[in-house]
């Protein structure tokens, strides 16, 4: 992927220029992660670039964001369970330590992960995993993108 969309992920999503967007949700955007060493990694971005914390939102918007996070997590779980029999669960995180905008990480976890990492936070994976070209988002992830997007569509149609 090229371009400078990644320097303004939310603005680019609002303009329809962020290539990682899977679906527009009520409170923001479901996007697939830039790195896929855990296939299916996704993020929920707020649609309000100035919002830095969950507590910055009024209660109704806060609950909407959390509901969208739940919906994205369920879509990732369903897609990953279907595509990989070694799927275990999803981990959800709202951290805000690096990027100054509200976002939630949805990490699928798998039985095939290294034994010393499978039960630990994803952030403990070695830096090489985060930079390895093999794991960078690309056309090889189209099936995964379609699966998560389809699950999101299905969940919204039954809501």
Give the model confidence (pLDDT) of 91-102 as tens digits. Answer: 999 998 888 999
Range of the domain at 25: 5-157
**What does the buried/exposed string (b/e) look like for 21-41 if buried means 16 or more CB atoms within 10 Å of the residue's CB?**
bbbebebbbbbbbebbbbbbb
Residues 6 or more apart whose Cβ sits within 8 Å of residue 11: 49
pLDDT of residue 6: 77
- How many domains is the chain partitioned into structurally? 1
Find the CATH number of the domain harbouring 145: 3.30.428.10
Contact (CB, 8 A) for 137 and 21: no
pTM, rounded to two decimals = 0.94
pLDDT score, position 1: 45
């Amino acid at each position: 992927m090229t371009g400078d969309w990644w320097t303004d992920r939310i603005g680019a999503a609002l303009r329809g220029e962020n290539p990682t967007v899977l679906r527009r949700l009520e409170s923001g955007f479901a996007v697939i992660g830039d790195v896929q060493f855990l296939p299916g990694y996704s993020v929920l971005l707020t649609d309000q670039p100035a919002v830095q914390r969950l507590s910055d939102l009024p209660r109704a918007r806060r609950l909407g964001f959390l509901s969208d996070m739940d919906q994205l997590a369920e879509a990732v779980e369903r897609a990953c369970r279907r595509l990989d029999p070694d799927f275990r669960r999803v981990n959800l995180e709202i951290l805000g330590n690096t990027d100054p905008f509200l976002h939630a990480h949805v990490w699928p976890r798998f039985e095939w992960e290294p034994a010393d990492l499978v039960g630990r936070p994803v952030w403990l994976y070695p830096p090489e995993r985060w930079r390895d070209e093999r794991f960078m988002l690309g056309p090889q992830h189209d099936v995964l993108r379609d699966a998560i997007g389809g699950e999101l569509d299905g969940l919204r149609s039954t809501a």
